[in-house]
Amino acid sequence: MADKEKICRHVAIIMDGNGRWAEAQGLPRADGHRRGAERVSDVMKAAKKCGVKYLTLYAFSTENWKRSPMEINAIMSLLGEFLDNKLPDLQKEGISLRTVGRTDELPSFVRKKLYRVIDATKNNKNGVLNLALNYGGRAEIVDAVNKILTDKSRKNNEITEADFGRYLYAPDLPDPDLMIRTSGELRLSNFLLWELSYSELYVTEKLWPDFGEEDFIKAVESFGGRKRRFGGREEK
């Protein structure tokens, strides 16, 4: 098998277990999210070490609005803080910030900070930190279909998979090679339903606030040991 098939360019992560981590120590759930937000820098460092260029993090799903207003506010404030504090580091490392999701429905203070950082980092070329915010895999597919229906430049009715992909939120990003989920749940939870079709899955029992650089490296190394066949036969 050609070596290039084992290169892990894009890792997507479901950062699960913040609430359980906090509850286990008798802390409010918001403390789990704070600790979880701190882990993002570690994982970015580990991604750099492993040569992973694209990192997509599931930070807030379309379903997360069902949580208490207090918890939603805590997550939104952490996002705001993260966006305020992270800009110098993103510039230093040459990483551009991107988002996928219905970001127009986020609180305006988050949107403002988000668009400011996206704009400031848009020409950075070393890597991409892609935050899934108010993201749902089904919503993304529905949004793509609606874009197709209103695209006046389309000439025929037939659509191919490649065509369809161009209407998704981030058509220029490669599909994730590896999807990591922390805290042991064996579910996709509406994350990147289209893009994860051929991704390798790695689930660890560790809760997200306990997930560090070494854990990320271990996950990427496990990917290197697997063979991807994309539905075809294994090459000799």
Of 71-79, 99-107, 137-145, 187-195, which segment contacts ligand FPP by CB under 6 A? Answer: 71-79
Q: Which CB atom, from 56 or from 199, has the smaller least distance to ligand FPP?
A: 56
Is 39 or 53 the residue whose CB approaches ligand FPP more closely?
Answer: 39
Rule CB under 6 A: which of 142-201 touch ligand FPP? none
The closest of 1, 61, 14 to 180, measured between CA atoms, is 14
CB of 23 to ligand FPP, least distance (A): 7
Is 16 in the active site? Answer: yes
In residues, how long is the chain?
A: 236
Q: Catalytic annotation on 130? A: no
Q: Dig out the tokens for 235 from the structure.
A: 């090459």
Applying CB under 6 A, among 16, 31, 195, 200 the residue interacting with ligand FPP is 16
Query: Going residue by residue from 28 to 67, which x/- string records binding to ligand FPP, judged by CB under 6 A?
Result: -----x--xx--x----------------x-x----x---
Note the Cα 116 to chain centre separation in Å: 19
Rounded Cα distance between 71 and 178, Å, is: 29
Nearer to ligand FPP, 17 or 137 (CB): 17
**Site residue total, ligand FPP (CB under 6 A):** 18
Q: Note the residues at the interface with ligand FPP (CB under 6 A).
A: 15-20, 33, 36-37, 40, 57, 59, 64, 75, 78-79, 82, 131
User: Catalytic amino acids?
Assistant: 16, 64
